[in-house]
Amino acid sequence: MFEPCGIGFLVCDDQCNVLSANEVAQHIISRRDGLEINSNEVLATTEEGGESLADVVAQAANASALKNRTHFRRAIAVLRPQRKRALTIVVQSVQQTAPFGDPVKLALLLITDATLSHDVNVGDFRRLFGFTAVESLLANQLMEGKSLDESCGHLGIRRSTGCSHLRRMFKKTGVHQQSHLVALLLKSIGLLRCESDAANKASGIVLLPARGR
């Protein structure tokens, strides 16, 4: 059974070798649903088009090893077969301290399916960020991959009203761009759900077996 957070987690090095993954991510890879382990034994996209996943992972992993602790985060869309709606993948650097030698270059990938509703409740958003009920509804829409205009239309509010809510959400979360807000929401809610689940079972992150490396 998959984690209730419904978000895939992957840890890769700068060459896109998969070092660990949770069950959701493994399921996506095994079904080649936009992602796969290719003939070179590294993580790759199954469909052509869009931003290079390998390039973004390398940028994030290399940023994690810089001495000035540069933080890298970018959300990209990964195309899927059979005209399914694209996966949204947030790629970010993993800051760490190495007692000896150079830090290992790692990137964290959070994978979400925009066609699935996260249905995060108001209480979760209020506890994490102090969002109001309407801000929570807007956050859910944005997390599902909808644009601000689409979200406002779904909620039955004017775009100007949505912009006002979005500015307040920026202030409460400390971010300044919509893409950064979505990345933060996905990460925070995903970790919240998985931490809750971990209280009842072992961690959802499991090591993948070595693949000829």
pLDDT digits over 100-131, tens only? 556 678 999 988 876 665 567 788 888 889 99
Whole-number pLDDT of residue 213:
41
Task: Please classify residue 205 by burial: count the beta carbons closer than 10 Å to its beta carbon, then call 0-12 exposed, 13-18 middle and 19+ buried.
Answer: middle
Q: Which of 3, 34, 39, 21 is nearest to 212 (CA)?
A: 39
pLDDT the model gives residue 1: 42
* DSSP-derived 3-state class of residue 188: helix
pLDDT tens digits for range 51-92: 799 999 999 999 877 755 567 888 888 889 988 878 888 888
12: helix, strand or coil = strand
Phi and psi, residue 148, nearest 5°: -65, -40
Whether the Cβ atoms of residue 112 and residue 146 lie closer than 8 Å to each other: no
2: its two tokens = 């998959």
> Which phi and psi (to 5°) does residue 109 adopt?
-115, 125
Q: pTM surpassing 0.75? A: no
CATH class assigned to 122-191: mainly alpha
Place of tokens 């069950």: 23
Tokens of 131: 């969002």
Ramachandran angles phi, psi of 75, nearest 5°: -100, 130
Sequence spans of domains, the chain: 8-115, 122-191
pLDDT tens profile 83-92: 887 888 888 8
For 138, the 3-state DSSP assignment is helix
- Assigned architecture for domain 8-115: 2-Layer Sandwich (3.30)
Q: What are 133-154's pLDDT values in tens digits?
A: 999 999 988 887 789 999 999 9
User: How, if at all, do strands 106-113 and 43-45 pair?
Assistant: unpaired
